[in-house]
Structure 1
Amino acid sequence: MAGKGTPGTALLAKQKVPHTLHSYEHDPRSASYGLEAAEALGLAAERVFKTLLAEVDGSLTVGIVPVTAQLDLKALAAAVGGKKARMAEVAAAERATGYVAGGISPLGQRKRLPTVLDSSAVGFTTLFCSAGRRGLEVELAPDDLVRLTSAVVAEIAAR
Structure 2
Amino acid sequence: MSKVVKTNALRLLDKAKISYEIKEYQYDEEHLGGEHIVSQVDMEAKDIFKTLVLKGDHDYLVCCIPVLEEIDLKKLAKLSHNKSVSMIHLKDLLQITGYLRGGCSPIGMKKKFDTYFDSSINECTKVALSAGKRGYQMIVDAKELMDYLNAIVGNVIKE
Same fold (TM over 0.5): yes
Residue deviations 1:106-146 (CA, integer Å, cap 9, x gap)? 11111100110111011011011100011100011111221
In the other structure, the counterpart of 1:26 is 27
In the other structure, the counterpart of 1:152 is 152
Residue deviations 1:26-72 (CA, integer Å, cap 9, x gap)? 1222151x321211123211111000011111421101000111111
Q: Helix, strand or coil for the counterpart of 1:116?
A: strand
User: Runs of 5+ in structure 1 lacking a partner?
Assistant: none
- What is the CA RMSD across the aligned residues, in angstroms? 1.4
Q: Report the CA distance between 1:82 and its aligned residue.
A: 1.0
In the other structure, the counterpart of 1:69 is 69
User: Runs of 5+ in structure 2 lacking a partner?
Assistant: none
Residue deviations 1:71-129 (CA, integer Å, cap 9, x gap)? 11111111111111111112333212111011100111111001101110110110111
Question: Amino acid of the residue matched to residue 13 of structure 2?
Answer: L
Equivalences for residues 45-64 of structure 1 within 5 A: 45-64=45-64
1:9 and 2:7 correspond: no
* 1-structure distance, mates of 2:76, 2:153: 10
1:61·1:115 contact (CA, 8 Å) conserved in 2? yes
TM-score normalised to structure 1 length: 0.93
Runs of 4+ displaced beyond 4 Å: none
Q: Helix, strand or coil for the counterpart of 1:92?
A: helix
* 1-structure distance, mates of 2:99, 2:65: 18
2:32·2:102 contact (CA, 8 Å) conserved in 1? no
1:126·1:139 contact (CA, 8 Å) conserved in 2? yes
* 2-structure distance, mates of 1:39, 1:128: 13
Distance 1:3 1:18, change over 3 A: closer
Question: Amino acid of the residue matched to residue 71 of structure 1?
Answer: I
In the alignment of these two chains, the number of paired residues is 158
